Amino acid sequence: MFRAFKNIFLFLILSFIYLPIIILIIYSFNSGDSGFIWQGFSLKWYKEIFASSQIKSAIFNTILIATISSLTSVVIGIIGAYAIYKSENKKLKTILLSANKITIINPDIVTGISLMTFYSAIKMQLGFSTMLISHIIFSTPYVVIIILPKLYSLPSNIIDAAKDLGASEIQIFFNIIYPEIVGSIATGALIAFTLSIDDFLISFFTTGQGFNNLSILINSLTKRGIKPVINAISAILFFTILSLLFIINKFIGIKKLTTDAEL
């Protein structure tokens, strides 16, 4: 009886989580203008996405910001993680790790308002540049926290042997360390890309007039009522993020990622 109750409870939890998404996907194919009343199957809202210059612009901006910010976050994250790994000052290492974790657990609304206030204080015009910088800022700590455990799992005797043979720090990094952490780097890049696509709050506070990404566009469209085109955009966004998660799992595996995080 306990097992039956457990299965029912699990089913209710999963239904509560995924049923709204399933309904959203179904109604994205609704032929009518209502977001809640089914009037027949149609692909016209998906066609409208690619016919609307506003939506296409938001998609382009989203991909552009996500691509640049994820690549930049990876470069900064590798440098940051390697600096923490090589640091022999325990107090400095603790401070850097704590600062990195604070950035991750800090509420997005606090980060967004703080960055907006900072940009206003230095009189930096809100728009593409401020959103890009903000996405790099909140994505980089995730890259650091993904790469760092892998660095600590490297056998020190191999690095010591390379030093004894006269290898420089650059040679050690590119010939020994980099091949070992390349999986974590790819995972960090994909997670940073996913975070950028998914973000709304920080983007909302750090963008200016005339520059929207998908999350901001969806928010503005919902103010006019829920339309099937919003469901279609959200469905595409959902499947994009789901695909990225599958790729992340393919690169490193959920079990391996969890194991590395515990090191």
Cα angle for residues 236, 252, 10 (degrees, 5° grid): 65
Alpha carbon 2 to its chain centroid, in Å, reads 38
**Tell me, what's the pLDDT at 35?**
62
| Domain assignments of the chain as residue spans, ordered by start | 55-261
Residue with tokens 């490193």: 252
Q: Which comes out higher in pLDDT, residue 222 or 151?
A: 151
Q: How far apart are CA 172 and CA 137, in angstroms?
A: 28
If 0-12 CB within 10 Å is exposed, 13-18 middle and 19+ buried, where does residue 180 land? middle
**Tell me, what's the pLDDT at 73?**
97
Residue with tokens 């515990």: 262
**Tell me, what's the pLDDT at 259?**
46
pTM: 0.82
**Tell me, what's the pLDDT at 2?**
66
**10 Å Cβ neighbour count for 122?**
6
3-state secondary structure at position 65:
helix
Q: How far apart are CA 179 and CA 201, in angstroms?
A: 36
- The pLDDT of 47-74, averaged and rounded, is 92
Q: How far apart are CA 193 and CA 188, in angstroms?
A: 8
Backbone angles phi, psi at 227, to 5 degrees: -115, 155
Q: How far apart are CA 222 and CA 134, in angstroms?
A: 25
**Tell me, what's the pLDDT at 37?**
75
Look at residues 112, 8, 2, 135 and name the one whose alpha carbon lies nearest to residue 64: 135
Backbone angles phi, psi at 257, to 5 degrees: -60, -40
Tens of pLDDT, residues 117-131: 999 999 999 999 999
**Tell me, what's the pLDDT at 262?**
44
Look at residues 167, 166, 150 and name the one whose alpha carbon lies nearest to residue 82: 150
Which of 12-21, 33-42, 126-135 has the highest mean predicted lDDT (pLDDT)? 126-135
- In percent, the amount of the chain with pLDDT more than 70 equals 93
- The answer for residues whose C-beta is within 8 angstroms of residue 147's C-beta and 6 or more apart is 77, 78, 81, 181, 184, 185, 188
DSSP classification of residue 174: I
Q: Which band of pLDDT confidence, cut at 50, 70 and 90, is reported for residue 30?
A: confident
Q: Which comes out higher in pLDDT, residue 140 or 29?
A: 140
- The mean pLDDT of the chain is 86
Question: For residue 203, is pLDDT > 90?
Answer: yes
**10 Å Cβ neighbour count for 61?**
20
User: At the top level of CATH, which class does the domain 55-261 belong to?
Assistant: mainly alpha
Contact between 29 and 41 under an 8 Å Cβ cutoff? The reply is: yes
Tens of pLDDT, residues 144-163: 999 999 888 888 788 778 88
Residue with tokens 């299965």: 7
Question: For residue 256, is pLDDT > 70?
Answer: no
Tens of pLDDT, residues 83-132: 998 888 888 888 989 888 888 999 999 999 999 999 999 999 999 999 99
**Hey, which residues does 41 pair with through a beta bridge?**
30
Question: For residue 261, is pLDDT > 80?
Answer: no
Question: For residue 253, is pLDDT > 60?
Answer: no
